[in-house]
Structure 1
Amino acid sequence: MSKRLSKFSLAVLILLGLVVLAACSDGKTSDNAEKEGEGSSDEPLTLTFFNADGGEEKTFDDPVAKKITEKTGIKLEMDYPVGGNDEAIPLMIASGEYPDLIFAKGDIGKLIEAGGVIKLDDLIEEKGDNLKAMYGDQINRLRNSIEDPSIYTVGTYGVENAYWETSGTFQIQLDVLRELGYPEIRTLEDFEAALTEYYEKYPEIDGQKTLPLSLLGSDWRWLITVGNPAGFAAGLQDDGQWAVNDETGETSYKFLLPEFKEYFKWLNGMNAKGLLDPESFTQTYDTYISKLSSGRVLSVADQNWNFGDADKALVADGKEWRTYAPLPVTLGEEYKSQALKDYGFAGGWGIAISSTSEHQEEAFEFLDWMASEEAQILTNWGIEGENYDIVDGKRVMQEDDRERMNNDPDYAKETGVGYYVYPFPQWGNGAVDSEGQPITPNSEEQIVANYNSAEKEALKEYEMTNWIEWFPSTEELGRSNHGTVSNYTIPPGSDVQIIQQKADDLTEQKITQAILGDPADFDKAWEDMIAELEAMNIQKANEEMTQMTKDKMELWETNE
């Protein structure tokens, strides 16, 4: 990582030298060059950008990227953590070498503490018209904390959100629904019964062993396919590793709740009955996606973005009935799925400008332009005439692009359409432009239109047009007062950060062992885990996180 950043720094120094030489040769200064795509040089200014959520090498030369450079005079040199390495930010801090732009996710607190990023308040006030218009009365959600209410980051999540689809819920193959006569599946008991009945009828699919439920608990995805579904089944919103009383701010480590024991005891039973993929805690991501793509996995508990490639592969292979339908499954009828919960603008994470960047103003102007209406249309829709057309005054995706967007996992990477939405500033899928048109192609109408033929047939049988009709509505659930704890910046080195890390390591290990163990040993295994959590002073972490949640609600003025 240090070598990569050193290369970045060298490139910037060389570029600066060329600019200075050019200015000396013609007696002109280079001030304001390249701003908004105008300047004395034909060469764009390169800004280095580290994206902690990226995982692939990519150059900034797709059609949308080129258009961004044309409009701003900026070109990005993008870098990502190698192999998902979570030590990238600490290595930057240790070396003192930073790229111009940094998306650090939850490590932003470490950068703030190290002085590695700058405060953006004055820049926003002086030249952040697009950002101010985007965030409006939710701009306080960008602020760091009660003690330090400065703004260090912008971007990551949409400001105006609409909830036309779910993600992270239990999902079941459409063919299971069809074969069983389109049953109503609301509880874990219903879910297990459907999987059992289908599995008994079809122990093999296309010559391979049928897998009723497969998880991916061998790496960081344990959190999203093992830990989080337990909370969703208990009717909790997504607060990462925490459970929050949204009225009082009281926060506790979620695995302490009795509902979590109930869920994992159910999963232990699924394993004992042979309904859980035996490789759920050892398989690699590629193996998991390969299994799903084969069509032999009947159900998952996963985020759509994590298995989307498998879904596209199934459609491309003509296996629409092997794709999945989201389910509002909970522990029992008394619990309510929070899948369509409105968190408001999440704040917290975002893109920061490094304190060592020699192009801080240009970097800020670039981020502000990315918040403009022009940029939002470009990054979401692509280029007029190439990716979309204006029909009767409205933007309409070209059919080839619409097809590739739905079925080609390389579409965004190759065209740039949709690629530069996250983690940059974004209006959100509920926003409209100055002419009242949706700012993204992902309107509810388009989502419904994009359903494959099997989905449409299954929905018709259930007398629905959209899967969300199964779920409690966004209006019914209301907006979260505290946002989501999963986006809070926990102070590095704090008691809560240290205790949570120990607790996370413990629960991942112990819960995995309990799931795979003998059902007769489950209660004892769970009791031992709770005792270890209490011994590491998990209650102190609860108290600190409760105060942090209450402070966040005060900062956002949602505690009244």
Structure 2
Amino acid sequence: MKKRLSILWLLLVAGMLIFVACSDDGKSVDGDPDTEDPGTSEDETPAEPVTLTFYNADGEEKSFDDPVAQKITEATGVILDISYPVGGSDETIPLMIGSGDYPDLIFAKGDIGMLIDAGGVMKLDDLIEERGDNLKAMYGDQIDRLRNSLDDPGIYQVGTYGVHNEHLETSGTFQIQLEVLRELGYPEITTLEEFEAALTEYAEMYPEINGEKTLPLSLLGSDWRWLITVGNPAGFAGGYPDDGQWVIDPDTGEAVYKFLKEEFYEYFKWLNGMNAKGLLDPESFTHTYDTYISKISSGRVLSVADQNWNLYDARYALIDAGMEERTFAPLPVTLGDDYVHQGLKNYGFAGGWGISISSTTEHAELAFDFLDWMASEEAQILVNWGIEGEHYEIVDGQRVLFDEVRERMNTDGDFSKETGVGYYIYPFPQWGTGATDSNGQSITVNTKEQVIENQLDAEKEALAEYGMELWIDWFPQQDELQISNHGAAANFSIPAGSDIQVIQQRADDITETRITQAILADPAEFDKLWDAMLVELEEAGVDKLNEEMTQLTQNILKLWSGDVE
């Protein structure tokens, strides 16, 4: 899925984790801070910069010439020539394989298995052992989560997510306008019933906002975002963590295609009722992304169920228009009080996706040294904070962002792209948002104190009314939730051409079409349509899909345990 990158949220979702070199409870780089930082390769950088081609499946059109990029080139001798999937196309990797023409570096996301099977990417184990000091220090005892499979436990990719997790924000939950909370006297909203009641009451009070029809809830189900605004919120409401299309038993690894679960039926039946009552935007399954963002930017959409990174443009537009009160607060909404919201779930290092080096590159060692340097303390400070004297200064031994820089971070959607600050965190190797450097300072710009300082006035007012400092205070806390031993199933590398890949695609096509129809149908028809969908899934081989995914998950649990011959 193509993400619109921006410093404010990238620094939060790109890996909100405490860095540990070789243990689970440390917070800084392993070793004596006074010893030589393993961060810089002993090999000299090229006398003249070398251009490495880089395909980024989540990339966007941009040249590698911003101030941070220039500093990266100075340190590594590398200039990146970045390509990306034009128009959201997912055919780029198959075309690479068909032609045998690979860029030097590849971020393939879930298509890495195809590249491995085709021999298109290098195994990195020897390079990591021989010259990967930074990567070894960064991943520590979680390095096994980079491994490919039990049959082929090699490491083919590094990066994408931070190594240890510490949430300061949530994303993907239901979100409601701050103005709705204020107008209704700051009610407690933790169930779908309370959520619906709040939207109904406010919409009856204000049927129009800024001269346009009020939209109590708007979704974006017309493209791949169906998965994040329609499918995923159903799982959150049912008390499940985000495992993509799966519900997985954390102890046994048993996997079930999630739309078979009763909680999903209950959620979509509720959404069908919302539509019948006129509380759901009637264009939720037809409008484009631009139209969706335009509606939210107008201030007339009272609530959404979406990832923060998908809402950047609308948030900035609302702020620019002086409508901070129309921005959103996240809600720990579930089907009922018996369900526990998993928004602060600790997945550990997610593994799965990362950047690979092609088997055809003429610059294998330089490409690897570049990736290893990106894991160094020097690089992590640069990509997170920018350039000393330009983006931050040292005050009493601590990095402090210039006021105008932090202001632009929080309000200007183009800041990251123009300056490079925050732009090269994802999908490169990264320590995690909670990591500290060798001097004990946060490696990223977002600490609890900074998140509080960055809050809009309308947010601070609402939080004060609820007696909270952060929105995460509203959610079940991380130490109350079981740590995931399998990471996040959405990031599993699915073998190309496997039953999982083939049957899941078939199942996903069925559920997206049939659930959309059921939501928009007359409520009297919902059960019949749902039952028909279940029959279609059975005929498509969903039982076989569950068996195969269970086996894959159990294999990953074994692989990540280090118990591999």
Distance 1:160 1:393 in 2: 26
Distance 2:264 2:45 in 1: 58
| 1:186 maps to 2:198 | no
**2:462 aligns to what SS in structure 1?**
helix
| 1:87 maps to 2:91 | yes
Write out aligned runs for 1:465-504 (5 A). 465-504=469-508
Q: 1:364 is matched with which residue: 362, 368, 384?
A: 368
* 1:47 alignment partner in structure 2: 52
| 1:517 maps to 2:521 | yes
* 2:236 alignment partner in structure 1: 232
State the one-letter code of the partner of 1:224: I
State the one-letter code of the partner of 1:50: Y
| 1:460 maps to 2:464 | yes
**1:558 shift after superposition:** 9.0
| 1:407 maps to 2:411 | yes
State the one-letter code of the partner of 2:49: P
* 1:128 alignment partner in structure 2: 132
Q: Percent identity?
A: 72
Larger relative contact order (CA 8 Å, sep ≥ 6): 2
Contact 2:159 2:427 (C-alpha < 8 Å) held by counterparts: yes
Distance 1:336 1:390 in 2: 43
Q: State the Cα deviation string for residues 483-532 of structure 1 (Å, max 9, x = none).
A: 11100011111111110000000100000011011110000000000011
Q: 1:245 is matched with which residue: 246, 249, 253?
A: 249
State the one-letter code of the partner of 1:428: G
* 1:294 alignment partner in structure 2: 298
**1:215 aligns to what SS in structure 2?**
coil
Distance 1:124 1:301 in 2: 41
* 2:74 alignment partner in structure 1: 70
Name the structure where helix makes up a greater proportion of residues: 1
Q: State the Cα deviation string for residues 202-231 of structure 1 (Å, max 9, x = none).
A: 010000111000000010000000000000
- Relative distance call for 1:155 and 1:232 in structure 2 (3 A) is same
Write out aligned runs for 1:326-475 (5 A). 326-475=330-479
* 1:165 alignment partner in structure 2: 169
Distance 1:161 1:332 in 2: 27
Distance 1:127 1:38 in 2: 14
Aligned residues: 523
Distance 2:381 2:373 in 1: 12
Write out aligned runs for 1:1-12 (5 A). none
Distance 2:540 2:63 in 1: 46
* 2:289 alignment partner in structure 1: 285
State the one-letter code of the partner of 1:209: K
Distance 2:43 2:423 in 1: 21
Contact 1:60 1:78 (C-alpha < 8 Å) held by counterparts: yes
Distance 1:545 1:354 in 2: 28
**1:122 aligns to what SS in structure 2?**
helix
**1:554 shift after superposition:** 1.0
Contact 1:264 1:515 (C-alpha < 8 Å) held by counterparts: yes
Consecutive unaligned residues in structure 1, runs of 5 or more: 1-33
Contact 1:64 1:378 (C-alpha < 8 Å) held by counterparts: yes
Q: State the Cα deviation string for residues 290-341 of structure 1 (Å, max 9, x = none).
A: 1111111000000000102211211121111000000000001000000000
Distance 2:258 2:98 in 1: 33
Distance 1:160 1:316 in 2: 34
- Relative distance call for 1:352 and 1:422 in structure 2 (3 A) is same
Contact 1:35 1:72 (C-alpha < 8 Å) held by counterparts: no
* 2:111 alignment partner in structure 1: 107
Consecutive unaligned residues in structure 2, runs of 5 or more: 1-40
**1:97 aligns to what SS in structure 2?**
coil
Q: Which has the larger radius of gyration?
A: 1
Deviates more, 1:200-209 or 1:311-320: 311-320
* 1:204 alignment partner in structure 2: 208
**1:161 shift after superposition:** 2.0
Distance 2:45 2:438 in 1: 25
**1:35 shift after superposition:** 8.5
Question: Runs (4+) of structure 1 moved beyond 2 Å?
Answer: 34-39
Distance 1:189 1:317 in 2: 32
- Relative distance call for 1:446 and 1:296 in structure 2 (3 A) is same
* 2:323 alignment partner in structure 1: 319
State the one-letter code of the partner of 2:486: H
Contact 1:482 1:558 (C-alpha < 8 Å) held by counterparts: no
* 1:545 alignment partner in structure 2: 549
**1:233 shift after superposition:** 0.3
**1:48 aligns to what SS in structure 2?**
strand
Distance 1:172 1:446 in 2: 23
Distance 1:296 1:95 in 2: 49
Contact 1:35 1:73 (C-alpha < 8 Å) held by counterparts: no
